[in-house]
Amino acid sequence: MPQDGDLAGELRLRDGHMRALTDLRLSVTDRCNYKCVYCRTGNDGAQFSELPIEDYARILRVFVSLGIEKIRLTGGEPLLRNGLLDLVRETAKLRPAFSSEPLDIAITTNGHLLAGLAKPLKEAGLSRITISMDAVDPETFTRITRVPGGFQKVRDGIRAAQDAGLGPVKINCVLLRGFNDTQIEAFAEFSRREQVIVRFIEFMPLEEDRTWSPETVVPMKEIVERLNRVRPLVALAPNHVSETARRFTFDDGLGEIGIIAPVSEPFCGHCSRVRLTSDGKLRTCLFSQSDHDLIGLMYRGASDDEMSSWIRQIVQHKEARHHIGEPGFLKPSRSMVHIGG
């Protein structure tokens, strides 16, 4: 039964497991200017799949009318996308259907182009930013991104985001054994010194090629043990029931660390997410075996109401959970390149 217990509770978008779906991740392009070893092969084809910005804007409007309260723009690399500022501007005009809070609009970016875009994004209505940065030393950083010269650009991007008022900036670091697991302690210092929230993410089997194996994952338990040796950790309360990160600070209150452990401690029970791929497919789980052709429906002339009813039906079949690490686990039908993180 809906937990809100009122009309809004009955009307808001829910899946077949009665989870309220309040969080939409939209991939605005599958192009990227980095070739991170845990994500892409780097052998991009000539064809990219992107929709016109107005089409994404319409789809976002429909989702917000259904109860979406948080929108995260992602990719590919979203800052490569022409028209991104227009999309943020249009999205910022929307009001959540069942909440008096403003719509939360976030971006996940590699930060390479952020120095010049942080201020315009803030002015367009962006609420928050997450910057992916997998090492605090330039050499390891380049070994992972496989593009020279990025490290300083990302550091400048972080500064620019802070100066533009997009703080507290979150830094995402996917830990890969043998690549950047040496960076854990340095990231703790980085969080304390730069006043950013560092979030370590367990590597998931979503890469384009086949680099994932259970041994490449650095589990939450190990991350916690190592951080505790830097300084004793103190657990922080979650901001929200569906928050994916376990939050910590250190015993002197300086720095904030989040650990996102989808592999060793899955949090699917509280999943509040749906995704739209850059080519307009609705995806109910990162690990789905198929997508649903929302853009096809829209291009065949569906009204907003028809799109809404269709979405309500599709999300009834949202997966209860993923099965990473279990016998018979199937890699999802598409890699992170197309899904958007």
- The contact set with ligand SAM (CB under 6 A) reads 32, 38-39, 74-75, 77, 108-110, 132, 172, 174, 201, 203-204, 206-207, 336, 340-341
Pick the closest to residue 175 from 262, 235, 273 (CA basis). 262
Nearer to ligand SAM, 96 or 205 (CB): 205
Beta-carbon contacts of 21 under 8 Å, excluding residues fewer than 6 positions away, are: 12, 13, 14, 15, 66, 67, 68, 272, 273, 274, 315, 318
Nearer to ligand SAM, 69 or 208 (CB): 208
Residue facing ligand SAM at closest CB distance: 341
CB-count exposure of residue 113 (10 Å: 0-12, 13-18, 19+): middle
Nearer to ligand SAM, 67 or 75 (CB): 75
Provide the minimum distance between the beta carbon of 316 and ligand SAM in the complex, in angstroms, as a whole number: 27
Provide the minimum distance between the beta carbon of 99 and ligand SAM in the complex, in angstroms, as a whole number: 26
* 230 φ/ψ angles, rounded to the nearest 5 degrees: -70, -50
Token pair for 27: 């991939």
Nearer to ligand SAM, 11 or 85 (CB): 85
Provide the minimum distance between the beta carbon of 111 and ligand SAM in the complex, in angstroms, as a whole number: 8
Token pair for 5: 């217990």
Pick the closest to residue 113 from 74, 164, 77 (CA basis). 77
Q: How far is CA 258 from CA 65, 185, 188, 223, in A?
A: 31, 14, 11, 10
Provide the minimum distance between the beta carbon of 16 and ligand SAM in the complex, in angstroms, as a whole number: 26
Nearer to ligand SAM, 19 or 40 (CB): 40
Could you give the 3-state DSSP secondary structure of residue 206?
A: coil
Provide the minimum distance between the beta carbon of 18 and ligand SAM in the complex, in angstroms, as a whole number: 27
Nearer to ligand SAM, 35 or 159 (CB): 35
Provide the minimum distance between the beta carbon of 176 and ligand SAM in the complex, in angstroms, as a whole number: 9
Q: Which amino acid is at 107?
A: I
